[in-house]
Amino acid sequence: MRRAVHQHRPSAFPHAVRRAGGFTLLEMLVVILLIGIAAAAVAVSVTQGLASARINAASGEIAAALRATRAQAIVQGKEQHFDVDVRADTYSDPKRKHVRLPKGLKLSITSALEDRPNQHVGRIRFFPDGSSTGGHIILRSGRRQWRINVSWLTGQVAVVDRVVAQ
Greater confidence (165 vs 30) lies with: 30
The pLDDT mean for the chain works out to 84
pLDDT at 87 over 90: yes
pLDDT at 113 over 80: yes
Residue 43's pLDDT band (cuts 50, 70, 90): confident
Average pLDDT of the residues in 98-106 = 88
Greater confidence (117 vs 21) lies with: 117
Domain with residue 36: its CATH number is 3.55.40.10
* 54 belongs to a structural domain: yes
Instruction: Answer whether 148's CB lies under 8 Å from 157's CB.
Output: yes
Number of H helices, E strands in the chain: 1, 8
* 46 belongs to a structural domain: yes
Strands (E), the chain: 80-85, 90-92, 98-100, 106-110, 121-126, 135-141, 144-150, 157-163
The predicted-structure confidence for 119-160, as pLDDT tens digits, reads as follows: 999 999 999 999 999 999 999 887 788 999 999 999 999 998
Hey, what amino acid is at 29?
L
pLDDT at residue number 56: 82
Distance CA 33, CA 31 (A): 5
Average pLDDT of the residues in 111-122 = 90
* 154 belongs to a structural domain: yes
pLDDT at 4 over 60: no
Instruction: Answer whether 146's CB lies under 8 Å from 161's CB.
Output: yes
Distance CA 66, CA 49 (A): 26
* 80 belongs to a structural domain: yes
pLDDT at 112 over 80: yes
Distance CA 115, CA 121 (A): 9
The least confident of 67-71, 99-103, 107-111 is 99-103
* 91 belongs to a structural domain: yes
Instruction: Say if pTM beats, i.e. exceeds, 0.75.
Output: no
Distance CA 89, CA 161 (A): 19
- Residues forming a β-bridge with 106: 140
pLDDT at 13 over 70: no
- Look up the domain containing 60 and give its range: 25-163
Q: Helix (H, G, I), strand (E, B), or coil: what is residue 36?
A: helix
Instruction: Answer whether 139's CB lies under 8 Å from 116's CB.
Output: no
Q: How many CA atoms lie within 13 A of 14 on its CB side?
A: 0
pLDDT at residue number 22: 83
Number of independent structural domains in the chain: 1
